[in-house]
């Protein structure tokens, strides 16, 4: 039997040459993948048997027996690994939210400055972008943590903000909010938001039927301020503060007690992430605004809209469609970049779980998998949301 006839037989099995070329690569790929996974799993099994490690998630219930420096929820060394994971996750989300908030504001300002007609402003914005974009994030992080924040004064000479907050090399201490009847306050905010939604609906109806415009911005602002304020007066809500106080811990060591401590690690990480990601967001914003053709602005002007109306009704809707997808991508990048916390000992999920917990339990496969899975889920959720949003607002074409 020669090779040629064998090939012919196989092709006739597939009933045509086309099908052959369609199915064969797939079968080969599938076999390859199965083989590789099988090979890895087998090796892993053998290795683990040899070292007497078993595979499983039960370790999550065991006592963690290590402390975490900064936590948003109650945690002590006697809590389980699962709780440690939760603490790490919350810390990651915290620094990501802070970073996203500041990066967005800074990015929008710089992006718009880039487009300014003022030469100096646009140049300064350009230099900012070129500077912070071309230096690795880790390096920027190290600079802020090891160089800049280390230059802050000792607690005994801390920078004083109106005697309620103190900035020192040990951290930024702010007053702790102590609420009574917080739930009442919380519900009042929700109620205000609902009321504002109704105001907007009413204003829209008014405009559609009579053409007049209700000053909905001022009314909303009023509601947002007055209603929560009322809860203080008649709702039994009260707020007291625990201020940080400089105490002498030992002969030469002073620090602040009480209040909330924002550790330098968190400050450095948030700072580095914001400044770095802002450069990319600035470019997204700039691309979005430039992406709206000049003719749109002219057409809107030619029918008599004011510059404010042009921006709000014509430019921004189109610009936002261009800006939002890549910006959301940057938010995702920022969240992933927050994992750099491991390099400066900020207790995020990587340091706490894939670092300390893994060192203690030796369960590399489970822990690294869980960590990667956490980030993957976040990415996928945001991707799905992005796709849905894009489909919804897509500008319809033929």
Partner 1 sequence: MIKSLNFLGTPSRDKLNLFVSIGAFLFVLGIIDVILNSFFEINITSVLPRGLNFFTPLIFSFIGLYYIRIEFSGNRTLDNLNKNINSNWFNATLTLLIIFVLIQNIPPLLNWLFFDADYVGVSKEDCSREGACWVFVNVWLKRLVYGLYPNSEIWRINLSFLMLIALVISGFFVPPKIKKYIIIFLLFVFPFIAINLISGGNFGLVWVETMAWGGLSLTFIISIFALLFCFPIGMFLALGRRSSAPVIRYSSIGFIEFWRGVPLITVLFMASVMMPMFLPDGTYMDKLVRVIIAITLFEAAYMAEVIRGGLQALPKGQYDAGKSLGMGYWRMHLLVILPQALKLVIPGIANTFLALVKDTPLILVVGLLELVGMIDMAKSNPDWLGFATEGYIFAGIVFWIICFNMSRYSQRLERKYKTDR
Partner 2 sequence: MPDKIIEMLDVNKWFGDFQVLKDINLTVSSKQKIVVCGPSGSGKSTLIRCINRLEEHQKGKIVVDGIELSENTKNIEQIRAEVGMVFQQFNLFPHLSIVDNCALAPIWVKKIPKKQAEESALKQLEKVQILDQARKFPGQLSGGQQQRAAIARALCMEPKIMLFDEPTSALDPEMIKEVLDAMVNLAKGGMTMIVVTHEMGFAKEVADEVIFMDEGMIVEKAPTKEFFANPKSDRTKLFLSQIL
CB under 5 to 8 A by kind: which of partner 1, partner 2, none does 229 bind?
A: none
CB under 5 to 8 A by kind: which of partner 2, partner 1, none does 50 bind?
A: partner 1
5 touches partner 1 by CB under 8 A: no
**Residue 38 or 291 having the CB closest to partner 2:** 291
Residues pairing with 180 in the sheet: 238
296 touches partner 2 by CB under 8 A: yes
Residues from 61 through 80 that contact partner 2 (CB under 8 A): none
50 touches partner 2 by CB under 8 A: no
330 touches partner 1 by CB under 8 A: no
Site for partner 1 (CB under 8 A): which residue of 72, 73, 147, 197?
147
Candidates 306, 347, 333, 373; CA nearest to 70 is 347
The label of the residue with tokens 């039994």 reads: 236
Q: Which two tokens stand for residue 40?
A: 């890895």
CB under 5 to 8 A by kind: which of partner 2, partner 1, none does 303 bind?
A: partner 2
**Residue 225 or 384 having the CB closest to partner 1:** 384
> How many whole angstroms separate alpha carbon 201 and alpha carbon 388?
25
> How many whole angstroms separate alpha carbon 211 and alpha carbon 204?
9
Q: Which residues contact residue 366 at a Cβ distance below 8 angstroms, ignoring those fewer than 6 apart? A: 55, 56, 57, 59
Q: Which two tokens stand for residue 371?
A: 């960590």
127 touches partner 1 by CB under 8 A: no
> How many whole angstroms separate alpha carbon 108 and alpha carbon 377?
28
Residue 76 half-sphere exposure toward CB, CA atoms < 13 A: 1
**Residue 14 or 200 having the CB closest to partner 1:** 14
142 touches partner 1 by CB under 8 A: yes
Q: Which two tokens stand for residue 207?
A: 């405009």
Across the beta sheet with 260-262, the strand order is: 159-161, 165-168, 171-174, 260-262
Residues from 97 through 156 that contact partner 2 (CB under 8 A): none
> How many whole angstroms separate alpha carbon 218 and alpha carbon 63?
54
CB under 5 to 8 A by kind: which of partner 2, partner 1, none does 321 bind?
A: partner 2
386 touches partner 2 by CB under 8 A: no
152 touches partner 1 by CB under 8 A: no
Are 285 and 111 in contact by the 8 Å Cβ rule? The answer is yes
Query: Which H or E element spans position 261?
Result: strand 260-262
- Binding map of partner 1 across residues 271-290, x = CB under 8 A, - = no contact: --------------------
Site for partner 1 (CB under 8 A): which residue of 2, 15, 78, 117?
117
**Residue 53 or 184 having the CB closest to partner 1:** 53
- Binding map of partner 2 across residues 152-191, x = CB under 8 A, - = no contact: ----------------------------------------
Phi and psi at residue 245, to the nearest 5°: -125, 135
- Binding map of partner 1 across residues 365-394, x = CB under 8 A, - = no contact: x--x--xx--xx-xxx--x-----------
116: left (phi over 0), alpha (psi -120 to 50) or beta: beta
b/e per residue 31-65 (b: at least 16 CB within 10 A) = eeeeeeeeeeeeeeeeeeeeeeeeeeeebbeeebe
CB of 297 to partner 2, least distance (A): 9
Q: Which two tokens stand for residue 393?
A: 């607002």
**Residue 76 or 116 having the CB closest to partner 1:** 116
Report how many residues bind partner 2 under the rule CB under 8 A.
Answer: 29
Could you tell me which stretch among 18-26, 198-206, 245-253, 258-266 binds partner 1 (CB under 8 A)?
A: 18-26
Q: Which two tokens stand for residue 107?
A: 């990015």
Are 274 and 104 in contact by the 8 Å Cβ rule? The answer is no
Q: Which residues would be at the binding site for partner 1 (CB under 8 A)?
A: 22, 25-27, 29-30, 33, 40, 43-44, 46-48, 50, 116-121, 124, 130-131, 133-140, 142-143, 146-147, 150, 336-340, 342-343, 350, 354, 358, 364-365, 368, 371-372, 375-376, 378-380, 383
């Amino acid at each position: 039997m020669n090779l040629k006839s064998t090939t012919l037989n196989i092709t006739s099995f597939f009933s045509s040459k086309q099908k052959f070329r369609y199915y064969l690569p797939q079968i080969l790929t599938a076999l390859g993948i199965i083989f590789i996974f099988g090979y890895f799993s087998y090796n892993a099994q053998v290795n683990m048997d040899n070292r007497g490690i078993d595979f499983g998630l039960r370790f999550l219930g065991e006592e963690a027996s290590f402390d975490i420096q900064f936590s948003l929820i109650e945690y002590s060394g006697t809590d389980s690994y699962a709780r440690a994971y939760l603490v790490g996750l919350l810390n990651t989300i915290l620094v990501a939210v802070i970073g996203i908030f500041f990066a967005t504001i800074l990015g929008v300002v710089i992006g718009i400055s880039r487009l300014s007609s003022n030469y100096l402003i646009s140049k300064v914005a350009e230099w900012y972008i070129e500077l912070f974009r071309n230096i690795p994030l880790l390096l920027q992080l190290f600079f802020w943590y090891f160089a800049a924040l280390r230059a802050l004064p000792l607690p005994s000479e801390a920078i004083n903000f109106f005697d309620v907050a103190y900035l020192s090399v040990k951290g930024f201490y702010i007053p702790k909010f102590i609420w009574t009847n917080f739930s009442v306050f919380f519900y009042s905010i929700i109620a205000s938001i609902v009321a504002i939604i109704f105001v907007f609906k009413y204003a829209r109806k008014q405009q559609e039927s009579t053409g007049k415009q209700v000053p909905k911005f001022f009314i909303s602002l009023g509601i947002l301020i007055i209603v929560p304020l009322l809860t203080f007066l008649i709702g039994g809500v009260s707020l007291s503060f625990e201020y940080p106080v400089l105490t002498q811990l030992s002969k030469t060591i002073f620090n602040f007690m009480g209040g909330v401590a924002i550790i330098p690690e968190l400050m450095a990480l948030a700072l580095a992430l914001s400044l770095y990601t802002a450069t990319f967001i600035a470019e997204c914003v700039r691309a979005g605004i430039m992406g709206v053709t000049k003719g749109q602005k002219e057409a809107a002007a030619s029918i008599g809209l004011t510059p404010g109306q042009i921006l709000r009704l014509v430019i921004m809707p189109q610009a936002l469609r261009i800006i939002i997808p890549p910006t959301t991508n940057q938010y995702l990048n920022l969240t992933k970049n927050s994992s750099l916390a491991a390099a400066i000992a900020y207790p995020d999920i990587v340091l706490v779980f894939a670092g300390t917990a893994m060192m203690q339990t030796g369960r590399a496969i489970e822990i690294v998998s869980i960590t990667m899975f956490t980030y993957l889920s976040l990415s996928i959720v945001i991707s799905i949301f992005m796709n849905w949003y894009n489909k919804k607002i897509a500008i319809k074409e033929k």
